[in-house]
Structure 1
Amino acid sequence: MSKILILGANGATAKIVTARLLVESDNDLTLYLRNTDRLSQYKDNPRVTLIDGDATDISKLSTSMAGIDIVYSNLGGTDLANYTKAIVTAMNIANVTRLIFYSALGSLYEVPGKFGEWNEQAIAAYLPGFRESAKFLTAHNEINTTQIRPAWLTDNNEISYETTGTDEPFKGTEISRQSVADFVVKLINNPALYPNESIGLNKPNTDGYKPVWM
């Protein structure tokens, strides 16, 4: 049994991960989010601890990490770099060393061709935060971080994905949240996988100039 802290626990992928871990594992979960009323269905679950908190509150983060084995960050937004620095600081205070980090395609300038050009424009407001976070996490290798760079997300009820490494061009244009959650659950169940790596995730055979629904 492990103790898992999920940051940004109301995120769509995080909610899939939570549901699966409660069914498929005996792990205890700490769910950290701005408003725990959003996850009130877990308030009486003996394996779940709900914490209201801001992701830049280092004191609260570090307290929440006491006894935690793995931190899964499902945070995003234009303030992501500030969240990332607070998470690493809190993990060092709490002596927690394993982090699974939800990043984005393009954070390593790895998306080739016209799709890469389109992606740069489509998420221009967010890429600086993802890129700064990627550099910061790479520099702080005292934290064993697996960064996940998913393609554009769908709500399709399917698990179908392939991976690319940091030295490979990104492949595909889309992936289901179910697929990303499956990869996260695999990492939580086997935290020795992909140490200090950044992994691209996409659904096979979805190459194009942009996702088909855009």
Structure 2
Amino acid sequence: MKTILILGANGGTAQILIQRLLNETDDELILFLRHASRLAQYQDNGRVTVIDGDVLDQDRLRQAMQKADIVYSNVGGADLAAQTQSILKAMAAENKQRLIFISALGANYEVKGNFGSWNEQAIAAYLPGFRESDKLIQDSGVNYTEIRPAWLTDEDEIDYETTQRGENFKGTEVSRKSVADLAFKLINNPDMDQRASVGVNKPSTDGDKPRWIE
């Protein structure tokens, strides 16, 4: 049995992961999010602790992290680098090593061609945060796995392939269920993809942009 701290626990991928961990493991979960009332359905679950907090609040974050064996981050936003720095600072202070970090395609400058050019413009406000976070994590010394998903869908499927740092990104889309499946495997096999940055996409979805974009 492990204890998993899930940061940004109200995110769509995080919620899929939470359900799989509760249904398929005996792990205990610490769910950390702003406005904890959004996950009130877990308040009476004996394996779950729900904490209302902001990852920029070091005292609150360190307290939440004390019992964690693995830290899973699903946080995001234009201030992602500041949040990442706070997470890494708390991990150092609490002597935590294993981090699974949800990033995005483009964090490694790995998306090429017309899709890469389109993606640079589409998420221009967020890419600097993803890229700075990538560097912070690499330089931190923690045992990390960074996950770089393609554009996310809510398709009811687990269908994906992966690429590693230094390889060109493949595809344009991937389901949240697929990303949660990869995170689930990492939690259950902590030796998998150590100090790695993993791109994840649905096979055969290459194109100049995601299929639903006009």
Query: Cα RMSD (Å) of the superposition?
Result: 0.5
Counterpart of 1:92 in structure 2 is: 92
Supply the AA of the counterpart residue of 1:41.
Q
Counterpart of 1:71 in structure 2 is: 71
Percent identity between matched residues is: 61
CA drift at 1:58:
1.1
Q: TM-score, normalised by structure 2?
A: 0.99
Supply the AA of the counterpart residue of 1:138.
Q
CA distance in 2, matches of 1:137, 1:68: 18
Q: Deviations over 1:73-128 (max 9, x none)?
A: 00011010000000000011111100000000001100010000000000000000
Counterpart of 1:140 in structure 2 is: 140
Structure-to-structure mapping, 1:20-169, within 5 angstroms:
20-141=20-141, 143-169=142-168
CA distance in 2, matches of 1:152, 1:40: 29
CA drift at 1:25:
0.2
CA distance in 2, matches of 1:104, 1:80: 11
Supply the AA of the counterpart residue of 1:133.
S
Q: Deviations over 1:12-34 (max 9, x none)?
A: 00000000100000000000000
Counterpart of 2:188 in structure 1 is: 189
Supply the AA of the counterpart residue of 1:144.
N
CA distance in 1, matches of 2:67, 2:19: 22
CA distance in 2, matches of 1:8, 1:139: 23
- Counting matched residue pairs gives 213
Q: TM-score, normalised by structure 1?
A: 0.99
SS at 1:131's partner residue?
Answer: helix
SS at 1:170's partner residue?
Answer: coil
CA distance in 1, matches of 2:12, 2:152: 10
Q: 1:205 aligned to 2:204?
A: yes
Unaligned runs of 5+ in 2: none
CA drift at 1:179:
0.2
Supply the AA of the counterpart residue of 2:94.
A
